[in-house]
A and B are shown apart, each in its own frame.
Chain A
Amino acid sequence: MGFLIHAAGIPRDALGPRINLSMPGVSCTVGEQILALARIAGKRVAGRIRRVPDPLTERIVAGWPDQADAQRACELGFVPKTASTRSSRVPHRGRVERAFVA
């Protein structure tokens, strides 16, 4: 949300002729996502994940780049959240387990 709000305040002249910007973001593997889920929500939640190939999903994901440089966005002041600020927003583990585990 901070990026959207920041974008609304950038002077038009600062963008130049190319008005489209790739934002800095988080890049990780699916395995890292599952590990993060297990760390936050517990192994019982992460254990529900099954590997099921889906042709449509595979086709869509094949069109996603792994990473973007986002150099122009960084120069224009789009600063990503650091790992420390992200982790501070994660709810307490017990609360998450109560919410998602039957």
Chain B
Amino acid sequence: MHVLITGAAGMIGRKLLERLARHRALNGEAISSLTLAMSRRWRGPRALRRASSADSDLAAPGVAEKAVAARPKVIFHLAGVVSAEAELDFEKGYRSNLGRHPRAARGGAACCGGYRPRIVYSSSMAVFGAPFPESIPDDFHLTPPHVLRHRQGDRRTAARRLHPARLLRRHRTAAPGDLRAAGDAQQRRRRGSSPRSSASRSPARKRFLPVADNGAPIPTRARAPRWAS
């Protein structure tokens, strides 16, 4: 099974990637290859060190198409910009949370007519609109007051039109500033001891790995992760 994860270096993506790297299977089916799309450099979990890469913007022309060129069977679409960041920067929130998704979906649709990957992506509970009852039912109205959540609502519509998809709404538990600070600190640490990162700077590892130049997925050949022992 070939699996694509967008936003693989993000809050949710990192945890999902570590889980998949540990089990090397998804719902009982072995993962033969894994494609990662992320907007910042992250070396990834140790078990997949050879497969990790960064520096891809799904909103850029051709990037999403390249990500799905190898026809991943399952796509975890987790890329996005969270609450305060999207509120403060309208253009960035619009481009990231709405622009990326149709491009990614079109990439899948354009790959070939019969290609229907399984898409799973996440949102937050803020897609609903106040005032709220004590507990909202599954069919509560979607009238969010925020910039970000409008984008997510639009995004859901796009996914529904194009693909059999699933959307999981989750409670967010961390502020975006915390995440950015953590990511920046990690990057600074990495730059401070960066000689080992020569592999990730090579042209072949620039964007989506492990995918060969002809677009074919490369088996990850994941080693047993140290934390599993």
| Chain A residues proximal to chain B, CB less than 8 Å | 1, 3-10, 12, 15, 18-23, 25-26, 56-57, 59-60, 62-72
A1 touches B19 (CB 8 A): yes
A20 with B16, Cβ < 8 A, contacts A8-B74, A64-B126, A68-B125 known: no
Contact among A19, A63, A65 for B146, CB-based, below 8 A: A63
Q: Does B27 contact A (CB under 8 A)?
A: yes
A23 touches B126 (CB 8 A): no
Contact among A8, A20, A26, A67 for B76, CB-based, below 8 A: A8
B146 touches A60 (CB 8 A): yes
Contact among B16, B27, B132, B168 for A23, CB-based, below 8 A: B168
**Residue in B20, B26, B88, B138 whose Cβ sees the most chain A Cβ within 10 Å:** B138
Encoded as 1 (CB less than 8 Å from any A CB) or 0, chain B from 126 to 143 comes to 101110101111111000
Q: Which residues of B contact A3 (CB under 8 A)?
A: 168, 170
Name the prevailing secondary structure of the B interface residues.
mixed
Additional 4 contacts, C-beta under 8 A, given A1-B12, A9-B27: A12-B164, A23-B168, A63-B149, A70-B138
Q: What's the minimum C-beta distance from B154 to chain A, rounded to whole angstroms?
A: 13
Q: Which residues of B contact A5 (CB under 8 A)?
A: 16, 19-20, 26-27
Q: Which residues of A contact B160 (CB under 8 A)?
A: 19
Contact among B16, B83, B135 for A60, CB-based, below 8 A: B83
7 A-B pairs whose Cβ atoms sit less than 8 Å apart in the complex: A12-B118, A18-B138, A23-B168, A63-B130, A63-B145, A68-B137, A71-B138
A-B Cβ contacts below 8 A, count:
114
Question: Which residue of chain A lies nearest to B88 when distances are taken between CB atoms in the complex?
Answer: A56
B166 touches A15 (CB 8 A): yes
Contact among B87, B126, B134, B169 for A20, CB-based, below 8 A: B169
Q: What's the minimum C-beta distance from A84 to chain B, rounded to whole angstroms?
A: 20
Q: Which residues of B contact A56 (CB under 8 A)?
A: 84, 87-88
Q: Which residues of A contact B129 (CB under 8 A)?
A: 63
Query: How many angstroms between the C-alpha atoms of A26 and B172 in the bound complex?
Result: 11
B169 touches A7 (CB 8 A): no
Question: Which residue of chain A lies nearest to B156 when distances are taken between CB atoms in the complex?
Answer: A20
B144 touches A63 (CB 8 A): yes
Q: What's the minimum C-beta distance from B147 to chain A, rounded to whole angstroms?
A: 10
A1 touches B27 (CB 8 A): no
Considering the complex, which residues of chain B in the window 67-104 have a beta carbon less than 8 Å from any beta carbon of chain A?
Answer: 74, 76, 83-84, 87-88
Q: What's the minimum C-beta distance from B122 to chain A, rounded to whole angstroms?
A: 7
B76 touches A4 (CB 8 A): yes
- Counting from the closest, the 6 A-B pairs by CB-CB distance are A9-B27, A67-B135, A20-B167, A65-B132, A7-B166, A12-B164
Q: What's the minimum C-beta distance from A16 to chain B, rounded to whole angstroms?
A: 11
